């Protein structure tokens, strides 16, 4: 009722996404905590992202998208929506939808560009 919504076009299909409610944010935090226990902490120290960390990122992004979609499909269980997103959505679409939902939900903020930052292009050629 009060939640923001926006549409996203994915391969010619329009999907309506909603911001997460307060209860959904709590549920998301609980989900993230439960998923983190399966991450091999010894691998996290390596600078190369291990498969477990990449899989965690994909699963959690798909969960955010599923929670958002639940507002449009309240009769479908969140676990089923989560599996549906993982099984039918391309990875770039999951990432784009995840960012949109998080932005609408106030979980991501736009970082303004620093006007003093040097915008010169970098070249490998000798000056």
Give me the pLDDT at residue 51, please. Answer: 81
Tell me the three state secondary structure of residue 98. Answer: helix
Domain range annotation of the chain: 5-104
Low-confidence ranges of the chain (pLDDT < 70): 1, 40-49, 114-127
pLDDT in the model for residue 126? 53
For Cα atoms 31, 48, 124, give the angle at the middle one, nearest 5 degrees: 130
Query: Which pLDDT score, from 0 to 100, does residue 36 have?
Result: 84
């Amino acid at each position: 009722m009060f939640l923001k919504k926006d549409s996203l076009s994915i391969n010619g299909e329009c999907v309506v996404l909603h911001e997460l409610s307060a209860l959904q944010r709590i549920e998301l935090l609980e989900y993230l905590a439960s998923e983190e226990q399966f991450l091999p902490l010894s691998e996290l120290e390596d600078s190369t992202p291990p498969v477990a960390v990449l899989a965690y990122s994909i699963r959690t992004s798909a969960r955010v998208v599923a929670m958002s979609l639940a507002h449009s499909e309240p009769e479908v269980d969140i676990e089923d929506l989560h599996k549906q997103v993982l099984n039918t959505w391309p990875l770039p679409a999951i990432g784009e939808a995840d960012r949109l939902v998080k932005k609408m939900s106030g979980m991501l903020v736009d970082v303004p560009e620093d006007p003093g930052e040097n915008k010169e292009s970098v070249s490998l050629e000798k000056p």
